[in-house]
Structure 1
Amino acid sequence: MITIGIDPHKSSLTAVAVHPDGHTNPPIRLVVDKNTQAAILAWASQWPERQWAVEGATGLGRGIAQQLVTAGELVLEVPAKLAARARLLGSSSARKTDVADAISVATVALHNRRLNRVQLENHHTIMRLLTERRDDLVAEHTRWINRLHVLLRDLHPGGAEVRLGTVDASTLLTKIRPVTAADHQRKHIARDVVRDLKRHEASIKELDKQLRAAVTASGTSLTEIQGIGFLTAAKILALTADIRRFPNQEHYASYAGTAPIDVSSGEQETHRLSRRGNRQLNAAIHVAAVTQARDPGPGRDHYRRKIAEHKSVKEARRSLKRRISNAIYRRILSDQQRLELQAA
């Protein structure tokens, strides 16, 4: 079977066909436009038995990867780090070219049997888009709230309350009587900021409705885990995508950054926090861990048991996060198997 490696860029891509013995055919370079899919499939038609390897199939390579999958092609995702290692190890020259990168991508696919197969974008992609949009709006909302506090501090002696809502801000602004021209301008800008905040809040509420509907439609049981609401569930599902790309819960814990790193020495057994993995997924699991450690339930029992074993607060929380990570893996896998049986 021929493996076609693709090195994608924003406006172009380079593809090279690599044979199982490492022999390569002349490469092809295409401009990325509406005709790219047809052109690359026509070029690849000379090899009926083929598979594709795309570097960064969730990033710059998303477009061509999704187009190929839509056409019924077998497409594998190659992480950029693996492609870089293959390029350095497979050549005496460190010179980086698009053709060399494409060959490296194909080489990784030829020798690595654990690459993820690219799937058509589905409800996980929709949830990811919605959660990312909500995160952006919340960050923007926080920035404008801080800006409003700065304006009100100069307009109103002592400033406003820390937890300031748009209704309270509007009421406060109606009571302020500017004296100087600068204060008149501050009040005018503050009113504009309040209007922007109201628009942000309305958009966030609408996104919350869409996310709740998406989580319900997914048929997930994640919300049955203590500390995981629909927003956290949406974030976890969006970042996890196809759970079967993880062979077991240990691999999932490594991806989520909930697998502590062993730094034991001699008779002293010690683990430290892992900074690896998906930090957004780790943050979502952290929220659930904090909730479980605070509220009555099996999670708090586990947390207190670790404290009784003379573990530090951080170590106990890390242990709880790993426990939650394993529960999430089992839940998502079970949900997926159940939905497949219902669809059969």
Structure 2
Amino acid sequence: MANEHRKVIVGIDTHADTHHVAVITETGVHVADKEFLAVGSGYQKIIAFITGFGQVLAAGVEGTGSYGAELSRVLTKEGIEVLEVMRPNRQGRRLKGKSDPLDAYQAAESALAGRGTATPKARDGAVEALRVLRAERSTAMRARVAVMNQVQSFLVSAPEALRAKYRGLTSAAMMAALEKTRPAGDISEPLNATATALKRLAVRYRALHQELALIDAELDAILTIHAPMLRDLHGVGTDVASQLLVTVGDNPERVGTEAQFAALVGVAPIPASSGKTSRHRLSRGGDRQANKAVHHVALVRMMSDTRTKTYVVRRRGEGKSTKEIMRCLKRYIAREIYNQLLHPQPAPDAGALRALRKTKNITLQAAADNLHVWPSALSRLERGHTRDDLFHQRYEHWLNEH
């Protein structure tokens, strides 16, 4: 059979410096394998190598999010379908052994069989920028916490003359006061050494604080341009929205259904029935950072969302525990987020209600009294600081009747 009519599957075992490439036919016959450098010229040689054996149906790549990230982008630009292949299990490696050629052939066979494969994240758009900034933010947050812990540790064992100056101050006030100090004297004296170290730590703390503020502003700017409506959902702020987008990736179509998204963020219900007991439990799978984000949304809504509060009261009346209620809430929240990601819907224009109320000469206090809510809660809704679609409809109906 001529090469131009042959159809092949490619498997690639990726490493930091080299990539091993294997080619098999669509019937699983091993054709060839070769090692290439993991550099720009090496990627072009890989393209020439694999296309020389015929039409490439798919490429199974290990580590599309790390060593194979750039290669995946190059293959995709060449019109080759890239599949992320899981690492071979240990049992298989014990039976068949391990080497770069074997791993590459196993990757190709997995891609051919559709076993242990997934559509990789594109990593070529705004979401990749969010991922990088969030990774930087995470390390800066940990560093700031470490600085604060170090300062408190020093003050615990510092001489009383130094400790007394900062006793009773809040963390922010203490760091500001430490930064303004001018320690002087013999550095070999414990008091002077401690004062000097504390000032430097306070300066580092302010630098980290400013860095975090800058990162948050950059995250906010990206979300405002690329996903402005995601934060219209109640309880979804910049931190939650950016994490959810990073979890889904630049190509949200890779998550084909709502159920797949629920599994991805770790809120898919897991059967936990036994005997006469029929129940489900919280999932421990999926992206744990995304699960943390959904958990945060659930907590915010349980505290401030009228619809969620009503739901919680009803389910408690049915005998559900807090964990079971939160499991159900997370599933509903995941459904809402998935729909907003794929089919964004803007929040209702609460500013129009504020204008309507004023044209009818109704005070905020009077409206709040009639609707049985706090004036501050109604004010936040009118200014767009909170979102409650059901209450928005109720408020709009009440204004139209008056």
TM range (shorter): 0.7 to 0.9
State the match for 2:265 in structure 1: 256
- Which residue of structure 1 aligns with residue 209 of structure 2? 201
Which runs of 5 or more structure 2 residues have no equivalent in the other structure? Answer: 1-6, 346-402
Moved more, 233-242 or 173-182: 173-182
Give the one of 9, 17, 29 matched to 2:15: 9
Aligned to 1:278: 287
1:6 CA drift (Å)? 0.2
1:55 aligns with 2:55: no
**Structure 1 runs not aligned, ≥5 long:** 337-344
Corresponding residue for 2:100? 98
- Equivalent residue for 2:189, pick from 181, 190, 198: 181
Q: Distance in 1 between matches of 2:69 and 2:168?
A: 46
**Whole-angstrom distance in 1 between the partners of 2:202 and 2:256:** 49
Structure 1 distance, partners of 2:326, 2:185, is 51
Q: Which amino acid aligns with 1:123?
A: A
Matched, 1:297 2:303: no
Native 8 Å contact 2:281 2:327 kept in 1? no
- Calculate the aligned-residue CA RMSD, in Å: 2.5
Taking a change above 3 Å as real, the CA distance of residues 218 and 318 of structure 1, as seen in their structure-2 partners, is same
- Counterpart contact for 2:9–2:23, Cα < 8 Å: yes
Query: Residues 196-231 of structure 1: CA distance to partner in whole angstroms, max 9, x if unpaired?
Result: 111111111111111001001113422111111122
Superposition pairs for residues 20-169 of structure 1, below 5 Å?
20-50=26-56, 51-80=58-87, 83-84=88-89, 88=92, 93-112=95-114, 115-116=118-119, 119=122, 121-153=124-156, 154=158, 155-157=162-164, 160-161=167-168, 163-165=170-172, 167-169=173-175
Describe the SS at the equivalent of 1:59: coil
The structure-2 alpha-carbon separation of the partners of 1:262 and 1:131, relative to structure 1 and needing over 3 Å to count, comes to: same
Separation in 2 of the partners of 1:178 and 1:260?
A: 64
Deviates more, 1:299-308 or 1:16-25: 299-308
| C-alpha displacement of 1:72 | 3.6
Do the aligned residues in 2 keep the contact of 1:130 with 1:207 (CA within 8 Å)? yes
Between the aligned partners of 1:296 and 1:267, the Cα distance in structure 2 is 35
* One-letter code aligned to 1:203: E
SS of 1:26's partner is strand
Residues 1:120 and 1:136: Cα distance change in structure 2 (over 3 Å): closer
Separation in 2, partners of 1:307, 1:177 = 63
> What residue number does 2:352 align with?
none
- Structure 2: how far apart are the matches of 1:6 and 1:106? 7
1:84 touches 1:104 (CA, 8 Å); kept in 2?
Answer: no
Report the residue type matching 1:171 in the other structure: A
Task: Return the alpha-carbon distance in structure 2 between the equivalents of residues 84 and 185 of structure 1.
Answer: 54
Name 1:320's counterpart in structure 2: 329
TM-superposition CA deviations, 1:286-316 (whole Å, max 9, x none): 1111000111322222222222211111111
Worse-superposed segment, 153-162 or 192-201: 153-162
Letter in 1 for 2:105: I
Q: Please report the TM-score for the alignment, with normalisation by the length of structure 1.
A: 0.88
Q: Secondary structure at the match of 1:27?
A: strand
Q: Report the 3-state secondary structure (helix = DSSP H, G, I; strand = E; otherwise coil) of the residue aligned with 1:3.
A: strand
The amino acid that maps onto 1:29 is: E
Q: Distance in 1 between matches of 2:169 and 2:48?
A: 62
Aligned-pair CA distance for 1:118: 5.4
How far residue 134 of structure 1 moved from its aligned partner, in angstroms, is 1.0
Find the structure with the greater CA-based Rg.
2
Contact 2:19 2:35 in 1 (8 A): yes
